[in-house]
Amino acid sequence: MDSTVLSALQKDDTVDITTIGRLSGNLSTIEIWYHRALDRYFLSGQPGPKSWVANLRANPRFTFSLKQSAQVDLAATARVITEQGERHTIFNEIYRTSVLWTPEEPAEMETRYKSAPLIEIIFDGSEE
């Protein structure tokens, strides 16, 4: 990736993601925050079922569209993170470093650890 894209990935927080509908096969775009943690990039959201997560489970290829300090579409693959220990580690790091999320009550945090979506973004051409 060029330096403009890398810089944007480090400072921006809102992107569009375009997934392929699991039932319709049509493209579906939403605006979402992304997070940096452990030198990796992640998507998450509030606990509960999400169409975009179901789409990524069915077809993990998606487009990650930067739209703040740089405007570029990046091809990516989603890795849905389900292992509880890994989820806990990642969410703790997101909470520690993110200006987007504020600390929650312990019960709310535990619900997020257990059931909020957590997707690692693997950009084409990046090393896992």
pTM score, whole prediction: 0.88
pLDDT tops 70 at residue 12: yes
Higher pLDDT, 102 or 75: 75
Q: Which domains, ranges and CATH numbers included, belong to the chain?
A: 3-123 (2.30.110.10)
Pairing relationship of beta strands 14-20 and 27-37 according to DSSP bridges? antiparallel
- The pLDDT tens digits of the residues spanning 28-56 come to 999 999 999 999 999 998 888 999 999 99
pLDDT tops 80 at residue 106: no
- The pLDDT tens digits of the residues spanning 52-100 come to 999 999 999 999 999 999 999 999 999 999 999 999 999 989 888 765 6
pLDDT band for position 110 (cuts 50, 70, 90): confident
Sequence-ordered list of residues with C-beta below 8 angstroms from that of 53, at least 6 positions apart, any chain: 45, 80, 117, 119
